[in-house]
């Protein structure tokens, strides 16, 4: 099946009209849910305020009745009960509700005309006067034991006898004991015996103004549920009818103003796909959409896009062909540059006095770094590593010129400083691009192990000494870069290599390799990598350093060309020297 056929046979799994109804239904359900939750909260808050105020009023009236009843001293009764309660041990208090526990309070007068009976009768009168209040009683909040101790409770079904207690939360305890007298005193909490309950009350104080007990009134959630259920039924039915009507209106509007115009745009798009030869450019222009919104705007945009695509397609074909040409030329430039550098290892299989290996990894298709090594004569090996400023094709061209001049000067038998001076003269004579090169040239006298070298602004070389078994940086004196300024003089120095010693030179792409957090690899990590296996052959040493760089930078993009060269001096394995040694490829 062709791509055009595959596209034209696509069918929507669920029409937009069906999705609109689905969204409307879901939105209606969410709206009903939110409305119910908010309504329930507000209604519950209203009921809570209503029952809280009512319970508080009942408790207040009960206290007023107690205060006007001169036949009973409620405060003395409360203190009498609490004296017995506080005299009990923790083990004795734990028996609350048992006959043994009741016996502790048996000395208190429980006759029909006693203070306890009179108080219970007063509480019962106010409890019976309200259909919403479940209990009216007198109790003491004991802060030390965190308990509510009952003084007088007229309730019959779950009656608390004198002195019985139940635990209370710290929040409820502090709310009642620290009441400021300004607002309605109540607490809403969940109890094991009654479930959710609202307790409101007023304090009973002695002549010193100290709270000795509370007159409390309880309202359980059972009184709230009927009113709440009735509210839910009425508001749910109203919301369902309203949402059903809204869904119908949304579906009709969506069909006329959204679905039908979009389907016409989709049909035009199918016609455009089928027109593989591009014979027409009016598939969208012929649409007759007048919705006055974004859909009409979309139709106009699609018509303009159709015309613009025809022009862009021609431009893309041209750009693609040009890009392929550039990529082909860059690949050729890369191959040419790679061929100019020594790439056959070992480079001098007939010479066993030294082992050498080098790599160059450009940041782009071509780079500005280069290395070289060549036999100047039967007893002198030329070594060069350099880094051209910049990257890409300009740096690669400047690199080729610099390499040819450097090698030519070296093959004429000049010293390293003369090589740098002559190369600098050649590059600065007509350097209109303002580019320069950092170079480290060295000439190894194979018979003695002496390297005569110079440094034109390049990185410090690293030397491995067989005696110490480690690589160390050789901080030589730097001269000015090549190509930056004429009439520059350079100095040279000597390095004495002994059998087994190694020379490691590199470009700044190694220490300046950068991780994703902008941290550089640095020369310290480079020396550490060199010393992981310093006795290895030059090829293995370069692999170790490159692996360390890769592990450090991880996913970060390579910023600069990375070039390394390592040479090991091994005069003890000297073989016959050929009569006419030549330069490397």
Does 6 have pLDDT greater than 50? no
Q: Can you tell me which residue has the tokens 């259909």? A: 131
Confidence class for position 316, pLDDT limits 50, 70, 90: confident
Give tens-digit pLDDT for 109-129: 655 457 788 888 888 888 888
Residue whose C-alpha is closest to residue 469's, from 396, 553, 537, 533: 533
**Is the bond leading into 346 cis (omega within 30 degrees of zero)?**
yes
Contact, 383 vs 505, CB < 8 A?
A: yes
**Which residues fall within 8 angstroms of residue 489, CB to CB, at 6 or more apart?**
417, 421, 479
Give tens-digit pLDDT for 327-359: 666 666 666 666 678 888 899 999 999 999 999
Does 522 have pLDDT greater than 70? yes
Q: How many CA atoms lie within 13 A of 164 on its CB side?
A: 14
Longest Cα–Cα distance in the chain: 141
Does 493 have pLDDT greater than 90? yes
Give tens-digit pLDDT for 534-543: 999 999 999 9
Residue whose C-alpha is closest to residue 346's, from 580, 535, 575, 499: 575
pLDDT at res. 581: 38
Cα torsion 69, 72, 74, 76: sign: positive
Q: Which of 75-84, 262-271, 484-493, 515-524 has the highest mean pLDDT?
A: 515-524
**Which residues fall within 8 angstroms of residue 498, CB to CB, at 6 or more apart?**
449, 465, 466, 467, 569
pLDDT at res. 223: 59
Give tens-digit pLDDT for 33-61: 777 777 767 766 676 677 788 888 888 88
Does 277 have pLDDT greater than 70? no
* CA gap 81, 60 in Å, rounded: 22
End-to-end, the C-alpha distance of the chain in Å comes to 55
Kindly state the tokens that stand for 332.
Answer: 């050729």
Kindly state the tokens that stand for 298.
Answer: 């979309």
pLDDT at res. 254: 74
Does 582 have pLDDT greater than 50? no
When pLDDT is averaged across residues 134-142 and rounded to a whole number, the result is: 90
Residue whose C-alpha is closest to residue 212's, from 86, 350, 324: 86
Q: What are the angstrom distances between the C-alpha of 529 and each of 254, 440, 500, 514, 520?
A: 69, 22, 19, 16, 14
pLDDT at res. 534: 95
Which residues does residue 44 pair with via DSSP β-bridges, in sequence order?
none
Q: Which residue has the higher pLDDT, 562 or 4?
A: 562
Burial of 310 (0-12, 13-18, 19+ CB in 10 A): exposed
Q: What are the angstrom distances between the C-alpha of 398 and each of 387, 401, 436, 552, 558?
A: 10, 5, 8, 30, 21
Q: Which of 19-23, 74-78, 217-221 has the lowest mean pLDDT?
A: 19-23
Q: Which residue has the higher pLDDT, 501 or 320?
A: 501
Residue whose C-alpha is closest to residue 366's, from 329, 401, 403: 329
Q: How many CA atoms lie within 13 A of 47 on its CB side?
A: 23
Do strands 492-496 and 470-473 pair parallel, antiparallel, or not at all (unpaired)? unpaired
Share above pLDDT 90 across residues of the chain, in percent, rounded to a whole number? 32
pLDDT at res. 109: 62
pLDDT at res. 11: 58
Do strands 369-377 and 354-361 pair parallel, antiparallel, or not at all (unpaired)? unpaired
Does 151 have pLDDT greater than 70? yes
* CA gap 185, 197 in Å, rounded: 14
pLDDT at res. 563: 93
The torsion angle over the Cα atoms of residues 15, 20, 25 and 27, rounded to 10 degrees, is 140
pLDDT at res. 227: 65
Kindly state the tokens that stand for 570.
Answer: 């091994």
Burial of 436 (0-12, 13-18, 19+ CB in 10 A): buried
Averaged pLDDT score across all residues of the chain: 82
Counts for the chain of helices (H) and strands (E), in that order: 14, 16
Q: What are the angstrom distances between the C-alpha of 140 and each of 158, 192, 460?
A: 18, 20, 90
When pLDDT is averaged across residues 160-179 and rounded to a whole number, the result is: 89
Residue whose C-alpha is closest to residue 219's, from 46, 50, 460, 402: 50
Which residues does residue 141 pair with via DSSP β-bridges, in sequence order?
148
Residue whose C-alpha is closest to residue 403's, from 425, 388, 381: 388
pLDDT at res. 577: 41
Helix axes 416-428, 392-411, angle to 10 degrees: 130
Does 169 have pLDDT greater than 50? yes
Q: Can you tell me which residue has the tokens 């003695």? A: 448
**Which residues fall within 8 angstroms of residue 468, CB to CB, at 6 or more apart?**
none
When pLDDT is averaged across residues 251-264 and rounded to a whole number, the result is: 73
pLDDT at res. 574: 42
Does 578 have pLDDT greater than 70? no
pLDDT at res. 149: 93
Domains defined for the chain, CATH in brackets: 54-227 (3.30.450.20), 341-573 (3.60.40.10)
pLDDT at res. 585: 30
Burial of 352 (0-12, 13-18, 19+ CB in 10 A): middle
Does 580 have pLDDT greater than 60? no
Q: Which residue has the higher pLDDT, 169 or 19?
A: 169
Q: Can you tell me which residue has the tokens 């007048």? A: 290
Where does 310-391 show beta strands of DSSP type E?
Answer: 354-361, 369-377, 380-388
Does 584 have pLDDT greater than 50? no
* CA gap 537, 345 in Å, rounded: 13
Confidence class for position 361, pLDDT limits 50, 70, 90: confident
When pLDDT is averaged across residues 160-172 and rounded to a whole number, the result is: 89
Residue whose C-alpha is closest to residue 234's, from 36, 29, 38: 36
pLDDT at res. 374: 92
Burial of 265 (0-12, 13-18, 19+ CB in 10 A): middle
């Amino acid at each position: 099946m062709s791509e055009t056929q595959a596209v034209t046979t696509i069918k929507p799994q669920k029409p937009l009209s069906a999705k609109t109804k689905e969204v409307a239904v879901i939105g209606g359900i969410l709206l009903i849910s939110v409305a119910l939750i908010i309504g329930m909260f507000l209604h519950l808050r209203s009921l809570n305020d209503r029952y809280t105020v009512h319970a508080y009023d009942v408790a207040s009236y009960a206290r007023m009745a107690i205060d006007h009843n001169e036949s009973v001293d409620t405060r003395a009764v409360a203190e009498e009960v609490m004296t017995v309660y506080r005299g009990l041990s923790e083990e004795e208090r734990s028996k609350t509700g048992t006959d043994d526990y009741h016996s502790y309070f048996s000395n208190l007068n429980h006759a029909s005309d006693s203070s306890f009976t009179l108080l219970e009768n007063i509480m019962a009168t106010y409890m019976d006067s309200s259909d919403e209040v479940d209990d009216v009683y007198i109790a003491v909040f004991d802060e030390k034991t965190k308990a509510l101790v009952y003084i007088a409770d007229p309730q019959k079904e779950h009656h608390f006898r004198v002195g019985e207690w139940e635990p209370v939360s710290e929040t409820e305890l502090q709310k009642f004991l620290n009441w400021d007298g300004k607002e309605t005193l109540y607490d809403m909490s969940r109890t094991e015996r009654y479930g959710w309950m609202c307790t409101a009350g007023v304090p009973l104080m002695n002549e010193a103004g100290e709270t000795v007990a509370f007159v409390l009134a309880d309202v359980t959630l059972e009184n709230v549920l009927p009113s709440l259920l009735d509210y839910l039924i009425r508001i749910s039915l109203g919301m369902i009818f309203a949402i059903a009507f809204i869904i119908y209106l949304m579906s009709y509007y969506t069909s006329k103003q959204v679905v039908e115009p979009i389907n016409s745009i989709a049909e035009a798009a199918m016609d455009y796909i089928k027109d593989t030869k591009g014979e027409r450019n009016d598939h969208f222009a012929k649409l007759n959409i007048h919705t006055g919104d974004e859909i009409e705007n979309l139709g106009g945009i699609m018509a303009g896009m159709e015309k613009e695509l025809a022009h862009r397609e021609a431009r893309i074909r041209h750009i693609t062909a040009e890009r392929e040409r550039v990529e082909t030329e860059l690949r050729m430039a890369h191959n040419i540059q790679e061929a100019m550098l020594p790439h056959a290892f070992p480079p001098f299989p007939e010479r066993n006095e030294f082992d050498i290996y080098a790599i160059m990894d450009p940041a782009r298709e071509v780079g500005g770094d280069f290395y070289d090594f060549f036999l100047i004569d039967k007893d002198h090996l030329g070594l060069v590593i350099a880094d051209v400023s910049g990257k890409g094709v300009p740096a690669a061209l400047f690199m080729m010129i610099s390499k040819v001049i450097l090698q030519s000067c070296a093959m004429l038998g000049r010293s390293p400083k003369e090589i740098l001076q002559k190369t600098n003269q050649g590059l600065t004579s007509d350097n209109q691009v303002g580019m320069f090169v950092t170079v480290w040239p060295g000439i190894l006298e194979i018979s003695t192990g002496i390297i005569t070298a110079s440094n034109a602004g390049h990185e410090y070389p690293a030397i491995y000494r067989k005696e110490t078994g480690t690589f160390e940086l050789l901080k030589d004196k730097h001269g000015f870069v090549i190509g930056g300024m004429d009439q520059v003089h350079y100095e040279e120095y000597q390095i004495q290599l002994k059998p087994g010693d190694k020379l490691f030179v590199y470009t700044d792409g190694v220490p300046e390799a950068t991780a994703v957090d902008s941290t550089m690899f640095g020369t310290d990590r480079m020396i550490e990598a060199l010393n992981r296996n310093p006795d290895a052959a030059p090829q293995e040493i370069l692999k170790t350093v490159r692996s360390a760089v890769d592990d450090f930078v991880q996913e970060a993009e390579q910023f600069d060309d990375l070039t390394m060269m390592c040479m090991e001096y091994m005069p003890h394995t000297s073989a016959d020297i050929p009569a006419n040694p030549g330069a490397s490829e």
